[in-house]
Structure formats: structure tokens, C-alpha cells
Amino acid sequence: MGSKRLVLSEDEGLGIVVVQLQTERGRMLASARIPQSDFAPHLIDGILQSQRLGRHDVAMGLRVPPECYQRLARTYTRPRLCSG
């Protein structure tokens, strides 16, 4: 069956979240354009269910424009249980 990926991105400042379900080779299986004001996790579930998939069946990713890279910093915070 191969692995699937769900990619979330923004439509260039239009206030739209673009959701794309793709095969591991990038072939589009399903997509949706959702206003940011209406976006909610259950909408992702609906897209996945339309393809008979669940969240555990896909890798999820976020596509951000290059100008946002500086705002994103790689940080790692250890859970309290791990700090020893």
C-alpha cells in the first residue's frame, strides 16, 4: 500500500489552509482548501476518512514559506519525567 503523507500549508497570505494527502511519490490523493477561521482537527480526519485512512496511517508535515524560517527554531524540551 505504501506510505501516505498529509501536508498542511498556507495559501500565500489569503487566510486559507491547504491540506494535501499524497502518496510517498507525491501523487495527489485528496486535497482541500479551508479558511483559517474554519480550520479544525476534525476536518483533517474527514479528509483522511474519505480515503479510508486514520491519523496513524499518514505522516503529517507542515510546509512554511522561507520567510518564516527565522521564526521557527529547533528546540527540544525534555519532559519533566526525563530530567534526572
Place of cell 512554511: 64
Q: Which helix (H) or strand (E) holds 29?
A: strand 28-35
- The model's pLDDT over 8-41, given as tens digits with 9 standing for 90+, comes to 998 877 889 999 999 988 899 999 999 999 989 8
Domain residue extents for the chain = 4-63
| CA–CA distance, 51 with 54 (Å, rounded to integer) | 9
Place of cell 519525567: 81
Beta bridge partners of 62: 8
3-class SS shares of the chain: helix, strand, coil, % to 5: 25, 35, 40
Q: Which fold has domain 4-63?
A: Nucleotidyltransferase; domain 5 (3.30.420)
- The model's pLDDT over 51-83, given as tens digits with 9 standing for 90+, comes to 999 999 999 988 877 776 666 555 545 555 554
What is this structure's pTM?
0.71
